[in-house]
Amino acid sequence: MTADPDIVLSAHDIVKTYGATHALKGVNFEIRRGKVTTLFGENGAGKSTLMKILSGVTVPTSGDIVLDGEKVVFSSTVDARDRGVSIIHQELSLAPNMSVRDNIFLGRELRGATGVDDAEEARQTAGLMRELEEDIDPLTLVEELRLGQQQIVEIARALSVNARILIMDEPTSALSASEVEVLFKVIRDLTSRGVSIVYISHHLEEALQITDYAVVLRDGAITATAEARDIDLQWIVQNMVGDHYDRGSPPTGYAFGDVALSVRDVCVEDKAKGALLVDHLSLDVRAGEIVCIYGLMGAGRTELLEAIAGRVPLASGAVRLHGSDLAGLSIAARIARGLVLVPEDRQRDGLVQTMSVGENLSLASISSFVRGMLTSRPRERALVESAIRNVHIKTAGGGAPIGSLSGGNQQKVVIGKMLATGPTAILLDEPSRGIDIGAKSEVFRLLGEKAAQGLAVVYSTSEVQECLSVAHRIVVMRKGRISATFGPDVSKEEIMAASGEAVTC
């Protein structure tokens, strides 16, 4: 056993197998007191599996966990939490029909003389919101919050248990730049009080700002460890994916076709506040063109894409696909016409968790192989196999549970499901949220391939570097309007300045 007083928890020779799959192959991992240990790795590298073992979600096939110098076995997350280990999962686990207060104290309600002390729970919740600098009423239903605010609630719930070891799995995937800054202040405050943080993020440059110790996991094994002062972005990428990572570039060698998607003078209204989320915006996208929409949180990117796809109503304006007005058409009818949307929240809006990989892939195309009460299983199977092959999904097969896939491969399933409908225009809202650098490269390479075949592509992002990958044109949104339009040779600083983001040197 380790005698180092700075190491509060260590994992020794951790092996985890699922049938013939070796998710972890003898991993040794250490967490230091009052420090941030960042775990880097691609989707499927084993990061989440290791964190689930350390937080009591699952048990290792073999190996030991040592806490404060003694071997421990966590029988459950409650057992781990009682010993001071808490986790913020990558995918939100909130109850949407319950309030912020009730979500934070779910399963460990505060008791008073006459039952649950709702007032004290609300007071503590309000304190957590102040600490996170988020103006959220404790009694607000979670389903009424935007995704970034829901992520803040998830973080607040973990902070409320006063953990000695706090595992953060992609805590900033839905946060704005200002919210990330607040979270980092909270992390540094926690570490100054001796709390140990394990931090997992695919935002590599961002993670470097908070890291004390870096560990790289690849194919279930540790490939590199170092102190923050000895590493840079190139070191992380090289140890994660090797020397051949390509961020991508706009596809060339062909001419754009006619205008595929036309947005004219579109407005989207927030009726509760009486304000316009999208303010008289116009945009044309040609067949074969890739357009990136960049903007900070609240710029109106998601609202614009959802309005085009028919998920939210237009206050005014028009959307046309190949010259045909889509007014009054349902989402299903727009998909049938050739317009599809890959939503930001793949867990809630893009996948059915109780279905298999194949069932998810075929869901949007079901009308093509169903006749009356009968389903053509061979045609469905052919579609699924083709989608798995075309989108390069790493899976044991169409019958595998969707939950068995890594985040990057789940995102490919959502994209593959929509591409299987044979669209002529595709909208993708934050397509790389919560996926690793290798999966991002694969997703953008796929979009480039489809654009070269004539697909009109529009994707949104809040990561400025992603604008500089495969986009032919970069449209910057600010307060619901287009503030600037650039070509692929634009600088990062120009994009940030147009969005209203502070540029630091």
Structure tokens at 467: 């604008």
| Owner of token pair 């058409």 | 329
For 161-258, where are the E strands, in sequence order? Answer: 165-169, 196-200, 213-218, 221-227
- Quote the pLDDT of residue 172: 80
Structure tokens at 139: 């009694």
- Quote the pLDDT of residue 242: 64
Residues 177 and 172: their CA atoms lie apart, in Å, by 9
Closest CA to 337 of 426, 256, 259: 426
- Please, are residues 267 and 276 in contact by the beta-carbon 8 Å criterion? yes
Judged on CB neighbours under 10 Å (0-12, 13-18, 19+), 152 is buried
- Quote the pLDDT of residue 503: 44
Residues 278 and 138: their CA atoms lie apart, in Å, by 28
pLDDT tens for the chain, residues 1 to 505: 446 788 999 999 999 988 777 889 999 999 999 999 999 987 678 888 899 999 999 999 999 999 999 999 999 988 998 899 988 876 677 888 999 999 999 988 998 888 899 999 999 999 999 988 888 999 999 988 877 788 888 888 888 887 899 998 888 877 777 888 888 988 898 899 899 999 998 778 888 999 999 999 988 999 999 999 999 888 887 888 765 455 578 999 999 999 999 999 999 998 777 789 999 999 999 999 999 999 877 789 999 999 999 999 999 999 999 999 999 999 999 999 999 999 887 777 778 888 888 888 888 777 777 666 666 778 778 888 888 887 778 888 888 888 888 777 888 888 888 888 899 999 999 888 767 677 778 888 889 999 999 999 999 988 777 888 899 999 999 889 999 999 999 988 888 788 875 444 3
- What domains does the chain contain, in order, with CATH numbers? 7-241 (3.40.50.300), 246-338+424-505 (3.40.50.300), 349-422 (no CATH)
Residue 12 three-state SS: strand
- Quote the pLDDT of residue 62: 96
- Quote the pLDDT of residue 505: 35
Structure tokens at 48: 């989440």
- Per-residue CA distances from 43 to 46, 301, 381, 406 (Å): 8, 26, 26, 5
H/E/C letters for each residue in 138-151?
CCCEHHHCCHHHHH
- Quote the pLDDT of residue 22: 85
**Torsion of Cα atoms, 367 then 371 then 374 then 378, to 10°:** -70
